[in-house]
């Protein structure tokens, strides 16, 4: 699927997503046109999904992060679909992950402060359908966040 040139292109894009085609081409040892075509091909194939801005939510005043472990009432036929559809509508929910095991979902929730979190908790989270149990884990520190793959 990926050849050596593709891997070099990806490594350089992971290190510097804003790199231009000419600089990328120079770093990977090919022409600008070839580098551009490789990037486009990997975008078309879904290997490169997006180039995004990594926003520091704390810099925008969000100081509370909570990970909610959710167990669903699985006797409801559409429990997963219903709760995920509703959770997607909550702007403070940044991530929704599903699991196999005792915990069914994890929601990553941010808030400006504890008062804001309490409001989101009471008016949005507790109203999600088919919830059997929720465990809230207050975020203390991020030790490692990696987005680069070992290519």
pLDDT band at residue 150, thresholds of 50, 70 and 90?
A: confident
Say which CATH topology domain 4-44 has.
Arc Repressor Mutant, subunit A (1.10.10)
Note the pTM of the prediction, 2 decimals: 0.81
Tens digits of per-residue pLDDT, 114-149?
A: 999 999 999 999 999 999 999 999 999 989 988 888
Look at residue 71 in the predicted model and tell me its pLDDT. Answer: 96
Look over the chain and give the mean of its residue pLDDT values, rounded to a whole number. 94
Task: Please state, in angstroms and rounded to a whole number, the distance separating the CA atoms of residues 115 and 34.
Answer: 53
Residue 109, CA atoms < 13 Å, CB-side half-sphere: 27
Q: What are the residue boundaries of the structural domains of the chain, listed by start?
A: 4-44, 57-138
Give the pLDDT mean for 101-121. Answer: 97
Task: Please state, in angstroms and rounded to a whole number, the distance separating the CA atoms of residues 56 and 51.
Answer: 16
What proportion of the chain, given as a percentage, has pLDDT over 70?
Answer: 100
Look at residue 37 in the predicted model and tell me its pLDDT. Answer: 96
Task: Please identify, in words, the CATH class of the domain defined by 57-138.
Answer: alpha beta
Tens digits of per-residue pLDDT, 43-78?
A: 999 999 988 888 899 999 999 999 999 999 989 889
Q: Which of 48, 79, 27, 53 is CA-nearest to residue 149?
A: 48
């Amino acid at each position: 699927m990926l050849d050596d040139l593709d891997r070099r292109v990806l490594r350089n894009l992971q290190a510097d997503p804003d790199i231009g085609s000419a600089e990328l081409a120079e770093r990977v040892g090919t022409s600008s046109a070839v580098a551009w075509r490789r990037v486009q091909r990997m975008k078309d194939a879904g290997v490169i999904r997006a180039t995004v801005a990594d926003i520091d939510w704390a810099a925008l005043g969000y100081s509370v992060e909570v990970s909610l472990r959710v167990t669903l009432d699985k006797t409801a036929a559409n429990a997963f679909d219903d709760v995920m559809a509703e959770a997607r509508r909550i702007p403070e929910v940044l991530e929704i992950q599903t699991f196999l095991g005792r915990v069914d979902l994890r929601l990553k929730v941010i808030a400006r402060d504890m008062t804001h979190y309490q409001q989101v908790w009471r008016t949005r989270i507790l109203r999600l359908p088919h919830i059997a149990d929720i465990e809230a884990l207050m975020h203390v520190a991020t030790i490692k966040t990696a987005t680069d793959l070992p290519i």
